């Protein structure tokens, strides 16, 4: 068939399978190599944090790969195709997020020498709040990971006809193998390879599209004529899905909640050997995010240029908006055996990186927040077996959650919405703990519960009653140039549901549906953060603040933490159980607080030090 005119596409060739399988085997091989290389180091700290001796560049690439994964490969081009290039503005959000995380959160967590992010909640508030925070993270991460397993499995099913659940299980099993054997080092170094493959997939799509369309200039002109480049909408309406303000304000808060307190990300930068390396990893990661989102968005613009006169979704060639990019790959690259296999490997590699990161983080919080406090006398060998056993358990749990994700519809917005609903209230809790000495445990708990209830109310309401088109602003599409047309039985594409028949929409929309429930999904995190902070501080004030509590200064953000890249290397490490001079291990050049005593349990010392105050 002629490219861009509709109809079925070519199947996978033998060489596509060879490239795809070879890429996955290399990725798994890197993970297994790290496992074999570190087989003599069996400590829990080595498994969960790589011995706290990682450097900035591989950690940065791992940070980028773990959250810009199969979701990005599949979802962002489809987003740009349907809604235009507004997603590019997230580059501003990434810069704000990287700066806030590196200059405020990293020095605090690094100084405390924590392994689990949620250790801080017990240090600052109490055990109950730590348990609730950890439980919220486990639920959120398991569901999100299910989504990123489902996305490339859908792509493979669309392109090759492979059994969908067979691919889902295979993805989980591959991750389980090298996560269980290699720990964090295996995850990080595999992520580096997978990041390269992911970017290569985008480049292949853009390059071939430019050849077909007669150059990048022609693609740009087509997108301009089709309204895809009108990215800067300064309408302050919080109900509009993507405007400059929703992306810069809402997107920044959402990404801060992902990077600053999410265990999957925090676990990487606190594994760096020095504070400077930890901060640098976030700034290098920012550049990686810019590059990735730029290639992803331009892939979507290339898709629009090719299909501007024959939309495959409206024409019935694909069953969901998230299948658009796989369809285009087989349409324009099938003449080059092996190249479609590279794209599928890109989507699959992104998924492997995220799933492995999630499994490793889930193991870390379970061990540090539940197992170690309950059984204090476990040996390193016992902890090693527990780590591996939990890796297997969480791997299969994530596979199961992929079944839930298959019902969530448009994969990109669904994933980001879940982070907004859960991470927003958690971010608010951390902020009042880090900046307000008057915030107490009662206020923190009340704020967290109210913030979570409010965001779940809005988020779930928005799923049941999707915003109307005037708020989501889908751009016009056409089928006037199609040579091959299928029978159509659907009319609307909504943000939450890939294909919606008129009978599936609620027959009556309550008054809240077109205002409260239509709040931009990017503002869910802002809403949760603000509600948690306001309620938390008010309840703390009503209940007497922290008059009866003695809080150590190391639990708060210091003025010297801000924009002071090298301060950590010449300063005292927190005396919440770590009383030695930073940088004492000159041979390895480490100032990582946790490295000084890898077996140290900060919570035991917190209680002791607070009691002495």
pLDDT in tens, 435-460: 998 899 999 999 999 999 999 898 88
The pLDDT, as a whole number, for residue 37 is 67
The pLDDT, as a whole number, for residue 427 is 94
The pLDDT, as a whole number, for residue 178 is 63
Q: Given a cut of 50, is residue 595 above it in pLDDT? A: no
- For the beta carbon of residue 353, count every other beta carbon within 10 angstroms: 32
Question: DSSP label at 507?
Answer: S
| 566 phi, psi to nearest 5 deg | -105, 10
The pLDDT, as a whole number, for residue 553 is 82
Out of 68-72, 95-99, 567-571, least confident range: 567-571
pLDDT band for position 184 (50/70/90)? low
Q: Mean pLDDT across the chain, nearest whole number? A: 76
Q: Given a cut of 90, is residue 96 above it in pLDDT? A: yes
Out of 77-86, 319-328, 350-359, least confident range: 350-359
CATH of domain 14-598: 1.20.1730.10
Give mean pLDDT, residues 109-135: 87
Q: Which pTM does this prediction carry?
A: 0.80
What SS3 state is found at 71?
helix
Provide, rounded to the nearest whole percent, the portion of the chain with pLDDT above 90: 19
Q: Given a cut of 80, is residue 577 above it in pLDDT? A: no
- For the beta carbon of residue 163, count every other beta carbon within 10 angstroms: 13
The pLDDT, as a whole number, for residue 538 is 95
The pLDDT, as a whole number, for residue 565 is 44
289-301 per-position pLDDT tens digit: 899 899 999 999 9
Give mean pLDDT, residues 245-258: 92
Asked if 513 and 461 count as a contact pair (C-beta separation under 8 A), the reply is: yes
Give mean pLDDT, residues 242-247: 91
Give mean pLDDT, residues 474-486: 77
The pLDDT, as a whole number, for residue 447 is 95
Give mean pLDDT, residues 133-139: 87
Q: Given a cut of 90, is residue 527 above it in pLDDT? A: yes
- For the beta carbon of residue 351, count every other beta carbon within 10 angstroms: 32
Q: Given a cut of 60, is residue 149 above it in pLDDT? A: yes
The pLDDT, as a whole number, for residue 607 is 44
pLDDT band for position 599 (50/70/90)? very low
Q: Given a cut of 50, is residue 488 above it in pLDDT? A: no
Out of 100-104, 233-237, 279-283, 356-360, least confident range: 356-360
Q: Which residue has the higher pLDDT, 137 or 48?
A: 137
The tokens describing 503, both together, are 């009978």
Residue 589's region, left for phi above 0, alpha for psi from -120 to 50, else beta, is left
Give mean pLDDT, residues 158-174: 71
Q: Given a cut of 80, is residue 36 above it in pLDDT? A: no
> Among the residues of 308-407, which ranges form H helices?
324-333, 339-366, 372-374, 380-405
Closest CA to 74 of 413, 398, 373, 557: 413
The pLDDT, as a whole number, for residue 182 is 56
pLDDT band for position 97 (50/70/90)? very high
pLDDT band for position 571 (50/70/90)? very low
Closest CA to 473 of 147, 79, 154, 28: 79
Q: Which residue has the higher pLDDT, 137 or 429?
A: 429
The pLDDT, as a whole number, for residue 546 is 63
The pLDDT, as a whole number, for residue 89 is 92
The pLDDT, as a whole number, for residue 333 is 85
**CB neighbour class for 532 (10 Å; exposed up to 12, middle 13-18, buried from 19):** buried
pLDDT band for position 426 (50/70/90)? very high
**Ordered DSSP codes for 88-135:** GGHHHHHHHHHHHIIIIIHHHHHHHT-SSTTHHHHHHT-HHHHHHHHH
The pLDDT, as a whole number, for residue 211 is 92
Q: Given a cut of 90, is residue 412 above it in pLDDT? A: no
Q: Given a cut of 70, is residue 511 above it in pLDDT? A: yes
The pLDDT, as a whole number, for residue 537 is 94
Q: Which residue has the higher pLDDT, 83 or 185?
A: 83
Q: Which residue has the higher pLDDT, 111 or 221?
A: 221
Q: Given a cut of 60, is residue 51 above it in pLDDT? A: no
What SS3 state is found at 590?
strand
Out of 155-164, 316-325, 424-433, least confident range: 155-164
Out of 99-103, 236-240, 353-357, least confident range: 353-357
Q: Which residue has the higher pLDDT, 155 or 138?
A: 138
Asked if 317 and 8 count as a contact pair (C-beta separation under 8 A), the reply is: yes
Give mean pLDDT, residues 396-423: 69
Q: Which residue has the higher pLDDT, 338 or 187?
A: 338
Provide, rounded to the nearest whole percent, the portion of the chain with pLDDT above 70: 75
Q: Which residue has the higher pLDDT, 62 or 238?
A: 238
Count of positions (residues) in the chain: 613
Question: What is the distance between the alpha carbons of residues 265 and 97, in angstroms, rounded to a whole number?
Answer: 12
Question: What is the distance between the alpha carbons of residues 589 and 483, in angstroms, rounded to a whole number?
Answer: 65
Give mean pLDDT, residues 37-50: 54
pLDDT band for position 179 (50/70/90)? low
Q: Given a cut of 90, is residue 390 above it in pLDDT? A: no
Q: Given a cut of 80, is residue 376 above it in pLDDT? A: no
pLDDT band for position 223 (50/70/90)? very high
The pLDDT, as a whole number, for residue 45 is 52
- Highest average pLDDT, of 146-155, 343-352, 425-434, comes from 425-434
The pLDDT, as a whole number, for residue 494 is 30
The pLDDT, as a whole number, for residue 503 is 35
Residue 551's region, left for phi above 0, alpha for psi from -120 to 50, else beta, is beta
């Amino acid at each position: 068939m002629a490219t861009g005119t509709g109809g079925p596409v070519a199947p996978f060739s033998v060489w596509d399978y060879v490239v795809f399988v070879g890429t996955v085997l290399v990725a798994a091989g890197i993970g297994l190599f790290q496992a074999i290389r570190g087989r003599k180091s069996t400590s829990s700290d080595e498994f969960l944090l790589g011995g706290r001796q990682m450097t900035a560049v591989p950690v940065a690439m791992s940070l980028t790969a773990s959250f810009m994964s199969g979701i990005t490969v599949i979802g962002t081009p489809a987003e740009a195709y349907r809604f235009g290039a507004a997603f590019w503005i997230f580059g501003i959000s990434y810069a704000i997020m990287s700066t806030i995380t590196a200059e405020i959160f990293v020095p605090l967590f690094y100084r405390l020498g924590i392994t689990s992010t949620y250790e801080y909640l017990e240090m600052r508030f109490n055990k109950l709040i730590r348990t609730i925070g950890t439980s919220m993270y486990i639920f959120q991460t398991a569901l999100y990971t299910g989504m990123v397993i489902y996305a490339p499995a859908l792509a493979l099913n669309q392109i090759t006809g492979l059994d969908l659940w067979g691919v889902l299980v295979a993805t989980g099993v591959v991750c389980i193998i090298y996560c269980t054997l290699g720990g964090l080092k295996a995850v990080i170094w595999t992520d580096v390879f997978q990041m390269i493959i992911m970017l290569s997939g985008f480049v292949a799509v853009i390059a071939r599209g430019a050849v077909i369309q007669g150059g990048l200039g022609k693609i740009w002109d087509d997108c301009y004529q089709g309204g895809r480049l009108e990215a800067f909408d300064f309408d302050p309406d919080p109900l509009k899905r993507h405007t400059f303000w929703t992306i810069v304000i809402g997107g920044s808060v959402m990404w801060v909640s992902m990077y600053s307190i999410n265990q999957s990300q925090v676990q990487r930068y606190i594994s760096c050997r020095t504070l400077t390396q930890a901060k640098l990893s976030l700034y290098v990661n920012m550049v990686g995010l810019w590059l990735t989102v730029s290639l992803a968005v331009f892939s979507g613009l290339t898709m629009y240029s090719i299909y501007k006169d024959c939309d495959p979704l409206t024409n019935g060639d694909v069953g969901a908006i998230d299948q658009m990019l796989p369809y285009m790959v087989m349409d324009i690259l099938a003449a080059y055996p092996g190249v479609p296999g590279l794209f599928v490997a890109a989507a699959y590699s992104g998924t492997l990186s995220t799933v492995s990161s999630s499994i490793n983080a889930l193991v870390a919080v379970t061990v540090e927040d539940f197992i170690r406090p309950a059984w204090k006398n476990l040996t390193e060998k016992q902890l090693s077996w527990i780590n591996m056993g939990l890796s297997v358990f969480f791997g299969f749990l994530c596979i199961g959650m992929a079944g839930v994700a298959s019902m969530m519809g448009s994969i990109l917005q669904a994933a980001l919405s879940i982070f907004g609903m859960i991470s927003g209230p958690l971010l608010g809790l951390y902020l009042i703990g880090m900046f307000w000495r008057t915030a107490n445990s009662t206020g923190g708990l009340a704020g967290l519960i109210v913030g979570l209830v409010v965001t779940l109310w809005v988020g779930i309401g928005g799923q049941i009653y999707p915003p109307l088109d005037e708020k989501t602003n889908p751009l016009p599409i056409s089928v006037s140039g199609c040579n091959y047309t299928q029978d159509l039985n659907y009319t609307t594409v909504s943000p939450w549901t890939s294909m919606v028949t008129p009978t599936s929409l609620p027959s009556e929309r309550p008054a809240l549906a077109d205002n409260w429930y239509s709040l931009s999904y990017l503002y869910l995190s802002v809403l949760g953060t603000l509600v948690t902070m306001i309620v938390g501080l008010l309840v703390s004030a009503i209940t007497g603040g922290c008059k009866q509590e003695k809080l150590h200064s190391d639990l708060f953000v210091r003025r010297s933490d801000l924009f002071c890249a090298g301060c950590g290397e010449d300063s005292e490490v927190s005396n919440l159980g770590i009383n030695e001079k930073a940088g004492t291990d000159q041979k390895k050049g480490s100032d990582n607080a946790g490295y000084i005593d890898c077996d140290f349990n900060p919570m035991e010392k917190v209680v002791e030090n607070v009691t002495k105050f």
